[in-house]
A and B are shown apart, each in its own frame.
Chain A
Amino acid sequence: MADEILAHGITREVHRQNAVLRVMAKHPELCFILLSVFVTFLTNYGSSFKSKPLVIPARMPEPLFPAVSSVLDLYLGDLRPLVEMLHQEDLIFVMYYAPWCAKSNTAVSQFLRAAQYLDGQVKFVAVNCWYPEGMCRKQYKFLLYPVFFAYHRDNDGYRYMGIERAEFMVKFLEDLVYPLTLLTSADQVKDFLTEHDTVVVGHFDFNDSPHPPGFKQFYYASMRVVEHDPFQPVKFGVVTDYTLALYCHMKQSSDIVFLRINNSTLKYPLPNNITSTNLVRWIFSTRHQLPVRWLVPLGMKSLMLSQEINKGPAVIMFHRASPLSSASQTVAVFKDLALRYNQCPGDKMAADFSRRWLTRSIYNIIKHAKILNFCKEYKKGRLFHTDTFRCCISTCHNCSHCLRESKLNVCEICQFRSGPQRSSVCSFEKSNVVDNYSVQPPLPSNSCQNSIASYDVSSYTSVCCKWCNKNVSYTEFLTPPFSSTIIPSWGSEGRRPTDRYVIESLENLPRKLCGRLTFQKSQQAYPSAIIPDFASTSLPWEFTGHGCRVNQTLSFFTLDSQNHWMIAKSLGLDVSQAHLSPVVVGFDKENEKQVILQEKFSKKTTASFVLNFTKGFLPRHLRTVSSDRQEACGSTPSLCVTELTTDTFQAAVSQPKDVVILVYAGWCGFCLAVSHTFLHLAHYFHTSPNITFARINGETNDLPWEFSMESYPTIIFFPAYREADSVAFPDNIEPSLPNLIRFVLQHATFTTRLHLAADVCSATCVQENLELCRHTLQALRSKSQRLRTHLSALHSNQTRSKPSHYHAAVMKILRKRVEDIQSEISEVKNLKDFLEKSRGRRLDRKTVEKVLSEKMRRKDLSVGR
């Protein structure tokens, strides 16, 4: 039977299969449709059947910069256009970025702005150096993005390691474009030094050859130092004049010296081996403390601040830095103070520098003001007349070898002062500039050559020299006689400037000057604070030379309030108004002291601040964080403890109540673990009006020394009226709720204890205490009885024998004790009566207070006293 069924089943199965086959044979198109459905299914969803995990490549890079902009964006990482450009452009500034990098993306706008500002002078290129298929990625390996490099045409690249803000990039690039300064007089050298604090001066004789030995390396080094410290670079000066070189302790060509404002002059030790690397190494190994150092932490792991702070006490000024302008009054005042503070009495040089610095900064500020005025008018549309700048003087110089060669050296000196001086047609400072040229040996020129003397966009001297053959009649713009005197023969009238710098300057000057101002303004890097007593020289008499007398090193630093507000914030300072009034802090690591200048910043207040800081007269500044959470306290949560700050701490502690404070640190795990217990403790006492609870973050709020904790969490108890008798919860006891309650009760004033007793004493408690009272009463009575017996015995003794002092004293004490016990008895009795009245019910606080009011007053009064 079973077999039959089985066989039947099989046959049915066979039948069904046959049916399918038959249908298929009948309709071959059906078969085809099925097959095609299967194939499409496979191709569409086949991937999900694969056991291998699916992988997709990263998306293709897209340009980061707008297509039409002054930045060339090589977003596929191709380096070839850049290489081509290297041969054409003087200076290229390159940003290597990664498209996923947040920092690269934020740098884009600043890079663009710098590019717009320097359009025409420096070429800006951005390269995606992440794209794995790109040439850049294959060639270079960067550990972070973005990376900036400036490439000089006939030189290698300089890495920019500064702040990623347009104004700082521009300063860096300008320093690279004009790394050398031609120095022509002793005065100029001194001014140069006072302005830049540390300068390297090289003597190169261009008469011998257009490329004196070592000059090229000197030039490279001047750029390399900009790379090392783009904020306060060591400036490089060139002296061509022999006598001036001698003045600077340089005897021959290719001598290099390092001038330092508050230290001796150093001579480069390897005169025969001038390489840029050696030079740079030498400079940074000998460059010591600057009068005022501008610290620029870059947000990378560094020890910069700590190194300075470890050296000793420091005065730090937070102000709005303006890298593109030397006209900041705050910096001028601060450096003036630093120079004066360290000025030793006998040191004439120091006094000279100090005086020079003042005049120099006054000059800078006046110039800045003039430009401001000028640009205001320029904007109004009052066009600027180029005529006023035509101020050229030709001078003929006669020299021995020139004569021999029957040649005449003729120089045309043109000086152009900044635009605003419209009225002065030609403000030639003969003594200053022209004399130098007339005295010095002839400039090395066989054709007209321009040399730039102390380049500045707003004040500028060009010298154009020519060899003139004696025999040839002197060209139209020269006049004999051939004496080495200045011939102011050619006025400015009717003359056109000849050299391209002058022309360019004349045409671009207004645009440039005012463009710079707008640029600074848009970048908010604009000197704005005005110091009322900026130019005053009357300082506290002790101040000048104080550093020399007390022989204590005091460093002066500045920090930029815009880029380094976080450091100010961490010191508990508000620098949001630093552009109006800089914030000055004294920081003394060794004595753990931090003080701040409370008055408005001025020369006088800062000077006396520095004096008082060194003398230790100033009170410690206590950082505090105004707690926003405190407001949240009143509203939603059911349990809350007041957050104190440094400012509210003293008031909270000295209120006529018991105060319990938890000092904690936000990061401390153990504090988190105790906070709920503390809240519970506060809740436990919440019905007692005589005790309050509060918390304070001991890390963000500085407390007076006696309350500065060495570890967290710490619970401090301040008894009412006696906050000086504060006690901390011992750190060898578990801070559990019962322990804390016990601790509080132990130290609490009488009233608090009374309130608590009334609140928590249960029915059992009343019963037990009643019993206790009875026992105590009994004990006290018997004790009192004993004393009385003793007393009477003594008394009878005394009456019998001769009275002695000893006896009298003993009796007095005994009487006192009896009295005490008597009063105790009455108190206990009071309590007992009261407890009996309550008949096993809970106690009513008011009644308790009434019963013990006498005692309460007595207790608290004695404490209060």
Chain B
Amino acid sequence: MTSAPGGSSLFLCFLTTVFVVCCTNAIEHGKIDINHYRNVVKNMFYHAYDGYINHAYPYDELRPLTCDGHDTWGSYSLTLIDALDTLAVMGNHTEFHRVTNLLIDRSASFFDMDINVSVFETNIRVVGGLLSAHLMMRRTGMVVEPGWPCSGPLLHLAETIARKLLPAFDTETGMPFGTVNLRHGVPKGETPVTCTAGVGTFIVEFGSLSRLTGDPVFEKVAMRAIRALWKFRSPIGLLGNHIDVKTGKWTALDSGIGGGVDSYFEYLVKGSFMFNIPELLEMFREYEKQIVSHLKRDDWYMWANMKKGGITLPLFTSLDAYWPGIQSMLGDLDSAMKTIHNFHQVWKQFGSTPEYYNIPKAEVHQGREGYPLRPELIESIVYLYRATQDPYLLKAGVDIVEAIEHIARTSCGYATVKDVRDHRLENRMESFFLAETTKYLYLLFDPENFLHNNGSHGELIHTPNGDCVLEAGGYVYNTEAHPIDLAAVHCCSAQKKQEEETLQNFHDNLNLLELLDIAQDKESRIIGKKLKKKKQASSTDRQERAETGREGNNESEKAPEGKSEERENSVTQPEGPGRSNDRDHQEAASTHLSTEESKNNENTATSPQPDIKLTIVKSQPKTPDKLPPRDAVDLNGADSQTTASSKVTIQINNDVTVENGHQKPSFDLAQQILDLFSSVTTQGKEDEVRQPSVTELYKTLANVSVVYISKPSIMRCPAQPFHSRISVWGEMFADEDIPLE
């Protein structure tokens, strides 16, 4: 609860060294002393955390002016769960253990309450927090069970509460209701209007849950909701702010990147590389294109009408600030830096970012003048600082620390700023202050933190799923800043199982004669791209190189044509046998499918002749597919094409899944049984509005495919242009080269 032992003496020690350093090495003016600020942030965290524990626990949040607690989003000690992994990030393992054990002890009854909670907030804060804490247990020195990371008490807890959220997803469109009762499902008379982010912000947590626990249902509901949003986008490719989840009709037509939409885009990007789902990235790229052409003005992102595209509100919303962070993950650093400069400008004006800010007037938007200690700006700064090491960003970070410290600090915590124009304080401290704001600030000033591992080292763990490499730097933060190790998620996944199997096959069926070149010399199966020597750095040379590269691609793409027949089979396999709403069956199917899928990919790239047998084709599936060949061909075509036709691919994919659902005989049977079952349960209530139920949901989920068409070529980041090396300290390059004078 208190800071690390010897903290104060350490701090003093620190100050003296700082002093010495500043005088001997003061050649770099304006250099930020990160050690000092790391301590400031640490103290900030502990001041608020201790305040919560002493005054507010077990309530959800601390009230920093009255120094007491209250329940806000539920009544499950939200701040405690949310702040848990920040403790681990800051290295306080003892407190982490204490709280974890506390949660485990209480887990039996923790979430069995008759309360209405926000599906979205519960997911990102509670499920996300528990997942992240679960994955951090080992590195904080806790004893973990042998099945870890694929099992464990916190994971179980996360799964339990996630399951309580599932009823919300049983809608006609697949988009969830905004509120659910932890005991009774969706409350009666619940409004069907949900904000876009509330529909599409599940894949990171639910995808992780599915892969960690082996139950694909979570990933399915998340993907179904995401695809539904994709389907309901406007003709010009924009999304609105709120949607009716029953009808798919938009109720708020303002399209932007900020409040109400934000984390949907964030999760498209994060989900795409976290789980290797190219579909999500393609969606994002498509949205991004429209956002740039309709919303972007002067490196700001404004609000436009989703149908017509004209700017309706020239506003910056405080939640917009996550966007540059997303861009940085995809390598769009130049654009991200330009935008972050704009956003930081708002901070410099008020010492915080108001919820809404009128850009042309350079003034707070009336009615939305608060600042609840939000983390989005600092989040983007952390991402960008990691990418560019631009000291400007450190300065921006210092601006934030100093301002919060000066403005929001109270006797027992940090308070929401009610009005950024006069810094009046409100009696609330949202849990994300401890979960996100302090965590990101700490990460900015702690370059050696384990979360900053760039992948050069990891831990080898022996699990029931085989050997796994964990903690190799693949941390993906959910929108509540809960880091999830994608390596751990991969470790428990079906793909991993398949890979293990493939390797085992390879080991069993190794062809020594070929491997050792005894019988005859073989041609390579995975033919890499030869790297060319480049004599001169002229642009023509570069172009040539690009061209040869393209030719190489074409060649490798031509190869699999001969095997199209086989590919067809394997691609369409997913909709094959074993579809029922029995969970185990489903799981088996999806495992099987994904293996087929990955095999298919291997095939596409290999030359047709069989040589070193790494993959041994398993016993062929029993029933060949009954899909109309048209779809299969289309799919194939789309598959071998590149990003240009991304939109088409996804649409076709959707169509396939829908059609299949009505054609499978095995499904029909299951459906009939279910129909019967549900008709019994809903007997006599026919007049009433249909209440969402999990059973219904499972039935519909049978039609949702979580098998993805692999496209490794789009899952890459472009290298930065040569001149970007002088894009530092506010220096930018125009989007187009400035013509010579």
Contact = CB atoms under 8 A, between A and B. Distances in A.
A230 to B, nearest CB: 17
Contacts of A98: 351
Contacts of A739: 526, 602
Interface string A127-167: 00010100000000111110000000000000000000100
B537 A637 contact: no
A116 interface: no
B34 to A, nearest CB: 14
B487 interface: yes
A369 interface: no
Interface stretch (A212-220, A505-513, A763-771): A763-771
Contacts of A571: 725-726
B528 A727 contact: yes
B269 interface: yes
Interface in B635-664: none
Contact of B725 (A623, A678, A717, A827): A623
A593 to B, nearest CB: 6
Interface stretch (A327-335, A360-368, A486-494, A694-702): A694-702
A725 B531 CA distance: 8
A92 interface: no
Contact of A301 (B348, B527, B712, B732): B732
B215 interface: no
Contacts of B392: 299, 566
B719 A712 contact: yes
Contacts of B27: 524, 561-562, 565, 576, 578-579
Contact of A738 (B65, B406, B506): B506
Nearest to A682: B469
A48 interface: yes
B132 to A, nearest CB: 16
A58 B526 contact: no
B233 interface: no
A705 interface: yes
A707 B530 CA distance: 11
A737 interface: yes
Contacts of B532: 706
Interface string A721-744: 000111111111111111101110
B483 to A, nearest CB: 11
A576 B27 CA distance: 7
B516 A53 contact: no
A743 B528 contact: yes
B528 A666 contact: no
B499 A301 contact: no
B328 interface: yes
Interface stretch (B216-224, B456-464, B692-700): B456-464
B457 A303 contact: no
14 contacts: A58-B407, A570-B725, A576-B27, A669-B273, A669-B329, A672-B476, A675-B454, A676-B486, A676-B490, A677-B469, A697-B454, A730-B526, A732-B605, A745-B612
Given A306-B732, A665-B331, A58 B525 contact: no
Given A303-B738, A562-B29, A760 B330 contact: no
Interface in B483-528: 486-487, 490, 495, 499, 502-503, 506-513, 515-520, 524-528
Contacts of B387: 665-667
Contact of B710 (A565, A679, A734, A746): A734
A633 B518 contact: no
A677 B469 CA distance: 8
Interface stretch (B73-81, B176-184, B238-246, B425-433): B425-433
Contact of B472 (A103, A567, A679, A728): A679
Interface stretch (A181-189, A378-386, A749-757): A749-757
Interface residues of A, number: 151
Interface in A475-491: none
Nearest to B528: A727
B730 A302 contact: yes
Contacts, number: 432
B738 A310 contact: yes
A679 B503 contact: no
A814 interface: no
Interface string A523-561: 010000000000000000000000000000000000001
Contacts of A668: 329-331, 716-717
Interface string B320-363: 00000000111101000010011001001101000000000010
B516 A58 contact: no
B87 interface: no
Nearest to B363: A141
B66 to A, nearest CB: 6
B454 A143 contact: no
B77 to A, nearest CB: 20
A641 interface: yes
Of the listed residues B392, B457, B499, the one surrounded by the most CB atoms of chain A closer than 10 A to its CB is: B457
B115 interface: no
B717 A765 contact: no
A571 B723 CA distance: 10
A736 B518 CA distance: 28
Contacts of B467: 680, 683
B684 interface: no
Contacts of A765: 507-510, 512
B512 A733 contact: no
B422 interface: yes
A249 interface: no
B424 interface: yes
B557 interface: yes
Nearest to A305: B731
A831 B538 contact: no
Contacts of B274: 673
Interface string B578-610: 000000000000000000001001101100000
Contacts of B529: 727-728, 730-731
A310 to B, nearest CB: 5
Contact of B513 (A312, A639, A729, A828): A828
A667 B329 contact: yes
A629 B27 CA distance: 26
Given A524-B26, A676-B455, A706-B531, A100 B407 contact: yes
B92 interface: no
B50 interface: no
B391 interface: yes
A591 B536 CA distance: 9
B68 interface: yes
Given A567-B729, A570-B726, A638 B459 contact: yes
A304 interface: yes
A99 interface: yes
A672 B362 contact: no
B690 interface: no
B439 interface: no
B718 A587 contact: no
A100 to B, nearest CB: 4
Contacts of A193: none
B625 interface: no
B5 to A, nearest CB: 22
Given A562-B27, A665-B387, 13 more contacts: A48-B66, A55-B426, A103-B395, A591-B539, A637-B457, A641-B457, A665-B719, A666-B387, A672-B476, A673-B715, A678-B455, A733-B601, A769-B513
Of the listed residues A305, A309, A633, A728, the one surrounded by the most CB atoms of chain B closer than 10 A to its CB is: A305
Interface in A638-692: 638-643, 664-680, 683
B455 A695 contact: yes
Nearest to A304: B731
Contacts of A665: 331, 387, 717, 719-720
Contact of B455 (A302, A664, A708, A735): A664
A822 interface: no
B516 A750 contact: yes
Nearest to B510: A765
B730 A772 contact: no
Contacts of A670: 273, 715-717
Contacts of A576: 25, 27-28
